[in-house]
Structure 1
């Protein structure tokens, strides 16, 4: 995807599968210390991790081996479009997603230092790390060459973690997850008494939907190559791709920041109030891959609706879906399972429901039916 990634070769091979890291210092923006400053140009107040200046994040991303292409803001968070995927900065959490041969886990120590030094955030509430199985694991660096090495690295750095392998371990859509339990419940209880969990006073809710697609159709791949005759690449090219593919219609009310790479590849961040989505495409024919991820609540469309919209655009031969959602009642759990039931033109090869301490996870893997055009 990146124009400068060292893993490009003469055969144009690139590892599209992302590493996804979330570090939470509290369940909501209101659950962290009330330290704030003003944006320049009369932008809204910012606090927590949003206090950190751009050059500090740039230095941290050097450790990861990627850099910032563009940044957009709204009242709730900052969205960074990276040379290798995306970063979202909320007052109380950071979400960092990188592809290629980036060294994401190695940056955790620096991330924790930044949170403490600049934001007085000295205790981690939760950490989540996940990724799909790599196509080219031998090209990865450091602990990322092997899942067991990644788990060992995380276990040595963070307390109370648990690692899971979801899906067929001998399949190409196996999904890995490491997470830990909340570490500072007493402190959070005190903070939450002064800061309700959200504006409505309802219980804390969290959802992440991730769709990981491989073997994209030739028709789809051609749309994500830069053609100089059509105009510039970069953000202008990204906006052109949004319209050409219909990606701008998945959440039409969202603010979209997208980028077309040279000679090929595409990334986009979407902002919808306090929620995000991102899209990343590696269109090389021998390693084609696309991902879609969002934490936008189900009220903006059912899980099945989102899956159908995304699959209709990319037309992959294979894809997996993971939905990671805070636990509700049994009726909602049944709806979660049904949401990955039937996808027109695809046969489901796997479906697994995991029950964690506070979350439910549904994983499903699909392949295109042979007789489906």
Structure 2
């Protein structure tokens, strides 16, 4: 049996919480009160660990051995790559929120792309059906509005998997955000080599990561962001960017044959110029890696956001939109999934799960 390479495509989980109905206590810093030891115990179940951390007045950010974790007062976002068992964090995080800070979960969203090496994934990630069954068994019955869907693409190896669940009293006065998840494959080899370290370079992961952030231009994607970065040995890179209450994150698997990079960011849906800001950040991120194929999943998006992303990738990056699909989900809102390729792309479209 052929040995699989490293799985770059992340699994992403977002948990939204609110005060218990009978609680009159202010939330304050909420989930940020959860002690680091408890967080580490959950990550141990997922099979990853914290390699670097940074926080501000709005949220705590952790770079993981496999991707990232963000903890807000009422929200947890965790994404992990490789063969991690991300969904094993669902029930423990819900219990921690209830027992330590008296918060109950009000909505859940799980997303991922199509794995490059699906046969290497352990339970419960062997396929999307198993993932949905696991989620159904590990979330409270109060999340009664549920939907699971695979949003297809004309490129048969690229699909977007979404599971969303919401309670019947989801707060409509929550801040509205647009989240963009960008998955890039077949990176330009010259650009990908910048994410390899020289043997015995005398640097640690933090210093090597800071150097990669500078030489690749990642620090110019959002100049306002404070960056927490880490370079792995012998190759690979992760960063979290903190810009007020908004985050961004990048993860890179640069090896030939299964090279992959992801970029994710969130902006305020109600801000007039944030569509332009988001489209510009996506353009800059794609140019850092020079991929042959790009998948973009935009959640709670306006039509204008998708049009701007489409325009900058086609006109300024020289890519062609090959597919455009959308679906609606409880709590999550509308998800638009687009795939782009370089005009000379001749990728083999092997089926993925």
TM category, shorter: 0.7 to 0.9
Paired with 1:117 and 1:339, the residues of 2 have a C-alpha distance of: 43
Deviations 1:77-102 (A, max 9, x none): 10011000000011101001100000
Counterpart of 2:289 in structure 1 is 314
Does the residue aligned with 1:308 lie in a helix, a strand or coil?
Answer: helix
Which residue does the alignment assign to 1:163? 148
Note if 1:305 corresponds to 2:280.
Answer: yes
Mean CA deviation greater in 203-212 or 294-303: 294-303
Deviation of residue 230 (structure 1)? 5.6
Q: Distance in 2 between matches of 1:153 and 1:86?
A: 22
Is 1:84 aligned to 2:58, yes or no?
no
Which of 75, 78, 82 is the equivalent residue of 1:93?
75
TM (norm. structure 1) is 0.82
Change (3 A) 1:32 1:276: farther
Alpha-carbon distance in 2 for matches of 1:218, 1:71: 30
Distance in structure 2 (CA, Å) of the matches to 1:303 and 1:236: 28
User: What is the SS of the residue equivalent to 1:100?
Assistant: coil
Displacement of 1:303: 3.3
Please tell me whether the aligned partners of residues 15 and 108 of structure 2 are also in contact (alpha carbons under 8 angstroms). Answer: yes
Query: Structure 2: which 5+ runs fail to align?
Result: 346-353
Partner of 1:192: none
Find the aligned partners of 1:204 and 1:35 in 2 and give their Cα distance.
16
Q: Which moved more, 1:249-258 or 1:224-233?
A: 224-233
Specify the SS of the correspondent of 2:83: coil
Whether 1:214 aligns to 2:185 is yes
Q: Which runs of 4+ in 1 moved over 6 A?
A: 9-12
Structure 1 unaligned runs (5+)?
1-8, 37-46, 190-196, 198-202, 327-332
Distance of 1:64 and 1:225 partners within structure 2: 26
DSSP 3-state at the match of 1:208: strand
| Partner residue, 2:33 | 51
Change (3 A) 1:88 1:139: same
What residue is the counterpart of 1:69 in the other structure?
51
- Select 2:197's aligned residue among 217, 220, 226: 226
* TM-score normalized with structure 2 length: 0.87
Structure-2 separation of matches of 1:34 and 1:223 = 47
Map of 2:349 onto structure 1: none
SS in 2 for 1:26: strand
Give, in angstroms, the shift of residue 12 of structure 1: 7.4
For residues 27 and 182 of structure 2, the distance between their equivalents in structure 1, rounded to whole angstroms, comes to 36
Q: Is the 8 A contact 2:227 2:240 kept in 1?
A: yes
> What is aligned with 1:275?
246
- Give the secondary structure class of the aligned counterpart of 2:5: coil
Q: Please say if 1:355 is aligned against 2:328.
A: yes
What's 1:172 paired with? 157
Give the CA deviation at 1:137.
1.0
Give the 3-state SS of the residue equivalent to 2:125 in structure 1. Answer: helix
In the comparison of the two structures, how many residue pairs are matched?
Answer: 330
Q: CA deviation at 1:362?
A: 1.6
C-alpha distance in 1 between matches for 2:230 and 2:239: 6
2:239–2:250 CA contact under 8 A, matched in 1 = yes
Q: Which residue of structure 1 aligns with residue 258 of structure 2?
A: 287
Calculate the aligned-residue CA RMSD, in Å.
2.5
